[in-house]
Amino acid sequence: MAVPMCLIIDDGAPLVNVYWWHAAAGQKTDAPVQKSGEPVVKDVAPDFIGDFVRVISRHGIRGKFSVLPYPAGLGKISEGWPGCDMRTLRSWVRTVRTKVMPVMDITPEVLTHAQALDLKTFALLDENERDWAAHQTEATLTPYVATALRFLNEAGLNATGFTFPWGLRREVEPDYQRAILAAMKEVNGQGQTWYFLHTNYEGNQFLSELVLREGEDWLVSIVSQCPDFLWQTMDTDDTSPEYVRSIADFYVTEDGQEGRLTELFVAGTPVVFHTHWQSMYSNRRRTGLRALEEVGRRVAALWGTQVRWVTCSELAADIADA
């Protein structure tokens, strides 16, 4: 039986690099830098979404793609924000809707992936979304989750699951789980859904699991079991073929004998791994995307039909039905 394989892409946003806002907040400056000392780019070239589509199409890659409904607190992706080129924004969203959605689930990653948003005034709060969520309940999380889903729907991007940025305190997770299920049913009429929150890179036991079942409704937690090795490409100007291959080796070596994906595949464990939009963009150089393409090529060449690329919702349904 073919081993399921699923790629999760976090932090996706049209035109802007939301990592810039994360780095700026962490470094307390409006001129954040990478570990290398290079300035963090604030924007992502509009044509990068096309490059990404070509890679996933060429290698049959499936999984999940986050789209921020209100990126960095700038404005809704259906309406734009000051200084935004609306034609380019609409083109980006259209590409996601027509080229990405058919092969990857769409999720919000809360609203801004930066400061939390006041739902009444649309003013940004002093806390980021992670810190804000730490003292919320199901009653306050549900409308926040529902708003994220509605904003995506306004852009024609129907979400099948949910993603929370940065992590969430364990004690809040039960409220968050119920909020996801309630909001999905309210906004999208969907009582069977999933979320991505956790990562665990130890061992080979499959960790994604059913966490809620209420009659016909259910919620599955999808867990990534492989680090984002592409992240390091943001901190070097090395774009050589040798460097790209060395990054791909962390996932699966050319001979298929080593790498984290190899470990999971050999164990027969469904392979769930994740990366980030900025990891593939690599501070303009796109080195991470080239490494992902090499991983896709190796997976196809080494394992062929022994691997079955799936979306997160497909994997969640298999887990719920098991």
Cα 69 versus chain centre, distance: 13
Tokens representing residue 113 in the block: 């992936």
Q: Measuring CA to CA, how many Å separate 144 from each of 10, 175, 180, 184, 250?
A: 19, 12, 10, 12, 37
Name the residue range of residue 136's domain.
3-321
Tally of CB atoms within 10 A around 98: 11
Contact criterion met (CB below 8 Å) for 56 and 311: no
pLDDT of 167 reads 85
CATH code where residue 295 lies: 3.20.20.370
What's the pTM value of the predicted model, to 2 decimals? Answer: 0.97
- How is residue 199 written in tokens? 């990562």
Contact present, 4 and 315 (Cβ < 8 Å): yes
- Select from 110, 205, 115 the least CA-distant residue to 161: 110
Please give the backbone phi and psi of residue 164, each rounded to the nearest 5 degrees, phi first.
-110, 135
User: What is the predicted pLDDT for the residue at 124?
Assistant: 96
Helix (H) or strand (E) segment spanning residue 281:
helix 277-281
Place of tokens 């769409």: 106
Residue 131 in contact with residue 125, Cβ under 8 Å? no
Provide the domain count of the chain.
1
**How far is it, in rounded angstroms, from Cα 13 to Cα 43?**
10
List of the chain residues with pLDDT < 70: none
- For residue 133, what are its two tokens? 């969520």
Pairing mode, strands 217-224 and 209-214: antiparallel
**What is the crossing angle of helices 48-59 and 86-95, to 10°?**
10
Burial 203-227 (b: 16+ CB within 10 A, else e): eeebbbeebbeeeebbbbbbbbbbb
Q: Which two tokens stand for residue 74?
A: 């700038």
Q: Mind listing the pLDDT tens digit for each residue in 66-118?
A: 999 999 999 999 999 999 999 999 999 999 999 999 999 999 999 999 999 99
Q: Please choose, from the candidates 106, 58, 67, 66, the residue with its C-alpha nearest in 3D space to the C-alpha of residue 309.
A: 58
Q: With CA atoms as reference, report the closest residue to 319 among 229, 252, 221.
A: 221
